[in-house]
Amino acid sequence: MTPYRELAPPTGLLPVVACLWEHEAPPGHEQRIIPDGCVDLVWLDGELVVVGADTGPVVAQADAARPVTRTSGIRLRPGAAGAVLGIPASEVRDLRVPLAEVWPDVGPALAETLGAADPARRLDVLARTVLQRKAERDGLVAAAARRLGVPGSRISGVAQELGVSERHLHRRTVDAVGYGPKMLGRVARLRRLIALSSPTSLAERATAAGYASQAHMSDEVRRLTGLTPVRFLEDAALTAA
């Protein structure tokens, strides 16, 4: 059994898709999902749903009465969701919405196709579906996401570098990602923390990730993951985004 695995998207989807993924969970398995700035289309318990960008932790638990819960998904990069979905990404923030409600014209037939397909075929169908949308990632938001991933970056400075007002950047980011640059910056900082590989102290890790102090890091990690930094970093792994 492979608990969770990611696959590279087809070349034509690289600008808007971070990965295709599968997850096989044993009965009662508990999975903690943390904010990553992405929106996923997920085949979950026989239903195709849009999983909006989260602003806090989500703990999913597999049905204890079923032998294995198998989930398949496609993950849209930060800044791509609004164009792929055809609605402001903020409309699905922190929500799990049936795709049929977002795409009433094709969603039901797509769900029926996925229901009849084997797991490998499901990923192919999801990839082809997103490819057919011919959506493009918001270039301004993508550039902002890269800059906000740099330690010490400020929203005002990022907006100035990109030649737009903070208000304009906020609006574009909310539409494309689901939330504003401030939240996107917090997510980027958490991902930097996860990516640090050197076994240093918590204080050193806080500084390296861009937190003002260890206390600041502790507060932020609790808000975004629901765990203490020590507990969270025990088995934190960076996922594709």
**Interval 112-141: pLDDT, tens:** 999 999 888 999 999 999 999 999 999 999
- Mean pLDDT for the chain? 94
Q: Per-residue pLDDT for 26 more than 90?
A: no
Task: Return the higher-pLDDT residue of 69 and 144.
Answer: 144
Predicted TM-score (pTM) of this structure: 0.93
The contacts of residue 6 (CB under 8 Å, 6+ apart) are 19, 20, 21, 239, 240
Dihedral of CA atoms 91, 94, 95, 101 in degrees, nearest 10, equals 20
| Overall average pLDDT of the 105-109 stretch | 93
Position 94 scores a pLDDT of: 98
What pLDDT was estimated at residue 233?
93
CB 19 within 8 A of CB 7: yes
Identify the bridge partners of residue 51 per DSSP, sorted by sequence position.
40, 96
Decide which of 1 and 84 is more confident. Answer: 84
Which tens digits make up the pLDDT trace of 67-92? Answer: 788 899 999 999 999 999 999 999 99
pLDDT beyond 60 at 142: yes
Confidence at residue 123, expressed as pLDDT on a 0 to 100 scale: 95
Mean pLDDT on 104-114: 93
Mean pLDDT of 11-33: 92
SS3 112: helix
Instruction: Concatenate the DSSP letters of all residues of 113-138 into one string.
Output: HHHHS-HHHHHHHHHHHHHHTT----
pLDDT at residue number 66: 77
Residue that is written with structure tokens 């799990």 in the block = 96
- pLDDT, average across residues 96-111: 94
User: Using one digit for the tens of pLDDT, what is the confidence trace for 195-208?
Assistant: 997 778 999 999 99
Q: Which positions ≥6 away from 38 have C-beta within 8 Å? A: 18, 53, 75, 76, 77, 78, 81, 241
Proportion of the chain above pLDDT 70, given as a percent: 99
pLDDT at 25: 85
pLDDT at 2: 55
